[in-house]
Structures are given as structure tokens and as C-alpha cells.
A and B are shown apart, each in its own frame.
Chain A
Amino acid sequence: MSEERSRDTPEQAEFRSHCRAWLTANPLPEAPVRLPQSAIEIMHTAQLDYLREWQRLAHAAGLIGCDYPVAEGGGGRKDCQIVANQEMQRAGRPFLPNILGLGMAAPTIHLHGTQTVRETLLPRLFSCADIWCQGFSEPGAGSDLANVQTFAERRGERWVINGHKVWTSLAHFADWMILLARSDRANKYEGMTYFVVPIKAELGRAVTVRPLIKITGETGFNEVFFDGLEIPDDYRVGAVGQGWQVAQTTLLHERGAGPMVTPSSGRGGDPDRQVADAYGLIDLARTSPRAGKTAADDPVLRDRIMQLIIRQEGSRQGARRARVPALCDHPQRIPLQAKLVMSEIRQDACALAMEIQGAASSFAFSDANAPDGGEWALGYMNSYGVTIAAGTNEIQRNILGERVLGLAKSK
């Protein structure tokens, strides 16, 4: 990674040194409990408290929100978040828990929020004083997100919220929610308004959070019911009726294609077993018996492992190429593929890992006999969260076909 350092701007180089020095001087104590594979599977306060302290420390050291203005709790730097991310990942730090705040709420508030909202809410978001969740999907508004029915009724300088959100990761811990609500039933796309909503204070009264259990048995996402929650107009983000446009900023960042780089620091799961990497399939194959030899001796499996490594390397090099404008005919072509490609590679790699493990893939991660700590099988189950969330990959293909290839819009 001296390659990265050699191409740093002077500001990036100075900042990289700072990150390295701080990370070296401030090792993180071992997690007191097993960490889930990502933030959206956090089940217990013991997990959350540990991760929350890590984010607080990293923010205090200037590694979170680096490219945001100082008045918003950021570092006031330019193109430095990517440096902090590289250094946190290199240091093997766990993921940041406030992922929906960092990845979606922060860029949206930064780009569309009022000064008061930006300067009061963002510092607490970056330091993890407040946990954020995202209130977009509803039972009748999944892929067809613009069909949201949760209603925001204006009463003078206040709004009253009624409705039902679903798949709301982290809502069980969240202080705040970004909310896409209907404010006009007569207009579909022009009838939505975007808000930031404090939900914790009204829990058990105007707000009800009910956990949903995933196919892994883990919790982490929820249903959220609003029953007459009142909020001031100050919490509106963007103009009345402009919610869909504001939501595009959120969605663009959710898919990894937005202008603000999301702070991110690493992975969860078993720290000794980094399973999401397709190169990891090689070692797995070498230690997995198959037909009297090893899976690494099976030509068909060798070919399939190579296919995944090639896709993964192609996607990594694509992220690199996306930053070389001379090699990109369309600026959004690679960024809009990011979520789709990453999620499918991960799903396919985990599925192949289970085939390589053979009978041993039947062990759950809670069983001591599970190879690689059972992380591949768990990763396979969890992978559907990503191929479905943030707009299903089928919707991503529509978006790519329409925005990049100019094909007719599929309704």
C-alpha cells in the first residue's frame, strides 16, 4: 500500500501519517462478545456499546467525517475519508456501527439540510452519540419505493406522521430516522417530503419498534409504526414535495455512487477468518477433502474459484478505473454497478465456499466443528440482505439500463 502513499496529495500524505500514528498508539481492546458480520446485524447492547466506543474514539481522532465541514463535526479536509478508511481497514479495526447515519443520513443532511439541522445533528451522528436508521421501505413500497404511504400532515409549523415502515435496520437502537413520507396523495413522485425524525423520545407512545427476525436467526432490522408523531417543520429536509429528489441523494450514496465517501473501517465476524475475500476460497479448497484428494485438485472447482477471483479482481480494478476519467466513457457507469456487483460476488463466493466444504457446510457458526468458524454459511444467508436491500439488484439493473444505456423505462 505504499502505492497509495506515493500518489497522495500533500494533505492526504500528512493525514495518512496522522491516521497511522493514532491507530498504532491506540490499539482497540478485544471485543467482549462475538461481533456480527456487519452493522445491520447488531443484536445486543454489548455489541453496540463496544462498537459505539470505537466510533467515538475514531471520530475524536479525526478519522470519521474527514471531508465534512468543521461546523458539521467534520475534519474540513479534502479527499481524506478514503485515506482514513484505508488506514482503519489496514489496522484491522471492526466496522463502524452507525452505518446508516454515516452512509446515507449524513450526505443527505449535508447536501440538503438547513444549517441548524446540519450543525446540531451531524456532530452527534459522526461521534455515534446518536444512532440513525432509515425509514424508506414500507409493506407496499419495496422496489416501487415511490409508492410510500406513510403520511405527513402539515398542521401550521408542525407535521403529524402516521404510517408503517419496514426492514428498518438499527431502529431498535436508533435515536433518529431519515424519513421519506407522503405529503400529497394526489401526486406520486411530486407528493413526497423528506424529514429527519427523532424516534427514541417517543418510543412506546407515538412510535413503536417491533423487531423482525432474519433467516439467520439474528435480529437487527425492524418494523416501525408511527401513530400521530408530531415534529416541527425545522426537521423537514428540502422543499415540500421534493422528497423524491432528496431521496435520490440518499440512494446514490447507499449504492456507493454518491459524491461523499462513506466512513468505513472493516469487518465483523470472526477476526481471524476474513471470509468475504474470494482469494480465501483457495485456502479453503486446500483443506477441504474431496474424492480422495482435496477440493483444490478438482478441476471444476478450480475453474469456479478462478471465475470468482477474476470477478472480484475485475470489480476492484473497476473501482480503481472509476477514478481515472480518461478510461470511463460515462461517469456513473461503474459507480452505479458497485452495490450490485459486490453483493453478487459475495453471495456467489459464499455459496461456492459451502460447496467446497461439502458435508461440513452443514455446521452452523454456533457449532465448534464448523470450518472457518461457519462464517461462509452465515455470510451466504446474510448476502441476501445486500442483494435485496438498497433497491433489489433487479431494480439496479433497470437503473443501469435506463440511466447508462438509455433504454426505455420499465414501470
Chain B
Amino acid sequence: MTQPKDFGFDDDAAMLRDTARKFLADHLPTDKLHRLVAANSDPYRTPACDWDQNLWRQIVALGWTTVAVPEADGGMGMKLAALAGLAEEVGRAALPSPFIATALATLVLRECGSEPARKLLGEIATGRAATLATTPRSGAWEIDACAVRLEGGKLQGSAWFVQDARKADVLIVKAASADGIALCAVPVNSAGVDIVPDAIIDLTRDQAHVQFDNVAVAPDQVLAAPGKGAAALAAAEPALLTIIAADMCGAAEWLLQTTAEYARLREQFGHQIGYFQAVKHPLVNLMIALDQAKSLVYNAACAVDSEPERAPAYARMAKAAAADVAAYASNRAIQFHGGIGFTWECAVHLYTKRQKHNQMFYGDGSYQRAKLAELLMGAVGSGATVGYSSP
């Protein structure tokens, strides 16, 4: 298969994105975001979960959570590029919400193909929020890394780094069994589920680890039967990486534009600081790296729909580029804001923290490049030894 030239980003996708940009600018301008998530600066504060549930209800009503869900399952049936466009806007607004977590969950659910998965997609369309509980304490992102067991219809173990767990209604739990990896839908209020909030750096989301103690799983909660979960997760992985990367591109664009604006306002030595090439050139380097990352995001999104055989490599490229640009944008934004950039009152830290979180989430740049090298070059040691055997 080959990709359409416009990345599948059609007029409807552009309209959805433009509406989202205006909606978020109107309802969650940066000063309001700061009041919402940064009211308490105490480093020892109780792990917070600050979000605007009214805004979330409107987002659900606008259909954002089912953009890439097939129409047959109650979704909008749009291309992944459309969801990437939305994720960019959500990143640009640093929106605290279960939007990204739920979007990632839908991308896994649509690969499960089971009745329970389709039923859950329908429930998400009406407002249930979901999140993936698929990572062990070690933070290994590999599909076979799992610390939850499914035996005799019961879940036992723990999942870590569960995003927006306290905003979610249902967990998509990866569990290992004698027959292989399974995926189960577990409502957050199920007996035996203990959601333990983590104190995290990013103020625009919450995170938790979840203990499963003999949690009963009925057959209609099995999204992917034992042995079928790994394939569903592998199929969804390029899309997950792409959407996380899109969030970072949106946030990086905010950091770029906000810092450029500051460089146009702030004067020293009789010049706007943007006059100095020590400021100007790194901002341009940031813009260039961001444009490459963004182009790779839409290429990967398009590949998921139109060129799936290349999607794994393209998604690694997108996540690698976006992770690096997220770090660079955050770094230059604080530095070029000077002293004010180092304060709690300047909104730059909200974005920096979100970016650092997403940079590492599902693997940073060097991790993605190692995976990409395996795809393009084969594993280390798979090449022939050359040159040394001849006398």
C-alpha cells in the first residue's frame, strides 16, 4: 500500500483540529491552566489530580475520544492523522484530562476485535474514560514485560505508570497467563483493585500504580483472550507512539512560540534579546527539529492507515524525533526566559514537565532509535564479521 500525499489529513480533519484549537484557547487559556493545576507549589503536597470535569464532558460530547474508532463501533471513523491533529492541540494546551489515555486505550481496543472490546468502545463514545495498565514496575515498555497474572479468572499483581488513573473509569489490564498475554477491562472500583497515586513531576496529569489482589474477571471483561493480547498491543503500538509524539509536537510548538514572543519583548543591551544570535539561532534550530518531528508524526499516522508494513519504523522515527524535540524545546524555553523562567509563576514549567514526562513515556529518543535500528539493520551481531579473517 502507498500513502496519500496529504497524509490522510482531509478537510474534516482540519476543521476538527481548528475547532479544537479554538475550543481549548477559549476554555483553558494558559493562565487558567496555571490556576487549575499549579495552585499548590508545596513539593510535599499530596499527589494531586487537578482537572476540569465539565470541560471533559464537553470534549466527550464533541466526539474527540472516538475520532479513530470505527463508525460501526460508535466512533467517527476518521484517519489517525485526524487524531494526531487533535493530540497536537491537546499538547499545545497542556490539557489535563483523560483524553490521551483514553485515545491510547481506543487504539488498543480497536485492534482486539472482540465483542467486549467493541462494547467498551461504545461506552467510551458515551463518556467512559479508559487507561492502559500495561507496564511493570521496571518501566519496561516491551509487550512481554508484565507483572500481572491471570489465573482461574482472577488477576494478581501490579501495573505501574498508569496514566490519568484517577480520571479513568476503566483499566485496560495486560495480564500474563499460561496461554500467553491477555487484555482485560477492569472497572476502577472493582473489588481488589487498589489505585495508589504517585507523586509525579508533571502537573498536567496524574499517575498511579495499581495493585490487583484476586480481582475477578468475567468472560465479558476479556478484551483479548490469553495468547491474543500481544498481537493486539503490537498492532496498536505504532499508533500509540504516534499520538504521544503528536502531543509533544503540540507542546513544543507552544514552547517555541511563547519563547519567541518573549524574545521579541524582553530587551537587554538596548536590543530585543531575539536580536542576539545566541538566542535566535537555537530557536531556529528548535523550529527545524520540531518541523521534522511533526512531519514524521503525520507520516507515521498515515502509515498506520495506509502503509501498515512501514508503520512500526515510521512510528519509532516520529517518537524519537518528538522526544528529542520535547527535551530541547523545554530546555531552551526555560533558559531564554531567564530568571522568570525558573519560577513557579511562569507557565513554561508546566510544559517542560509535561514534555519530560512524555519524552520518557513509551521510550525516549535513544530507546526508539535502538528499536528502529533493529528494524532497519537487524539485531546487533546479525551482520557478518568482515575484514578480520583474511591474513
Contact = CB atoms under 8 A, between A and B. Distances in A.
A340 B288 contact: yes
A305 B373 CA distance: 8
Given A292-B388, A306-B373, A337-B288, A3 B3 contact: yes
B338 interface: no
Interface stretch (A14-22, A32-40, A374-382, A402-410): A402-410
Contacts of B263: 405, 407
A7 to B, nearest CB: 5
Nearest to A401: B280
Nearest to B256: A405
Contact of A286 (B3, B277, B384): B384
Interface in B334-391: 366, 369-370, 372-373, 376-378, 380-381, 383-388
A248 interface: no
A402 B279 CA distance: 12
B372 A306 contact: yes
Given A306-B376, A309-B376, A404 B292 contact: no
Contacts, number: 174
A229 to B, nearest CB: 38
B321 interface: yes
A293 B385 contact: yes
Contacts of B57: none
Contact of A327 (B275, B298, B320, B366): B298
A155 interface: no
Nearest to A396: B284
Chain A contact residues: helix, strand, loop or mixed: helix
B17 to A, nearest CB: 8
A47 interface: no
Given A397-B281, A401-B274, A307 B295 contact: no
A256 to B, nearest CB: 14
B287 A317 contact: no
A268 B271 CA distance: 47
A400 B370 contact: no
A6 interface: yes
Contacts of B320: 306, 310
Contacts of A401: 274, 280-281, 283-284
Interface string A300-326: 001101110111011101101101101
A58 interface: no
B14 to A, nearest CB: 4
A314 B2 contact: no
Given A303-B373, A306-B369, A321-B298, A405 B381 contact: no
20 contacts: A282-B377, A286-B386, A288-B386, A293-B381, A294-B383, A299-B380, A302-B373, A306-B369, A309-B317, A309-B372, A314-B293, A314-B321, A317-B295, A320-B5, A320-B7, A333-B287, A405-B256, A405-B274, A407-B279, A408-B271
Interface of B: 2-7, 9, 11, 13-14, 17, 256, 260, 263-264, 271-272, 274-277, 279-281, 283-285, 287-288, 291-296, 298-299, 314, 317, 320-321, 366, 369-370, 372-373, 376-378, 380-381, 383-388
Interface of A: 2-4, 6-7, 279, 282, 285-289, 292-294, 296-297, 299, 302-303, 305-307, 309-311, 313-315, 317-318, 320-321, 323-324, 326-327, 333-334, 337, 340-341, 394, 397-398, 400-402, 404-410
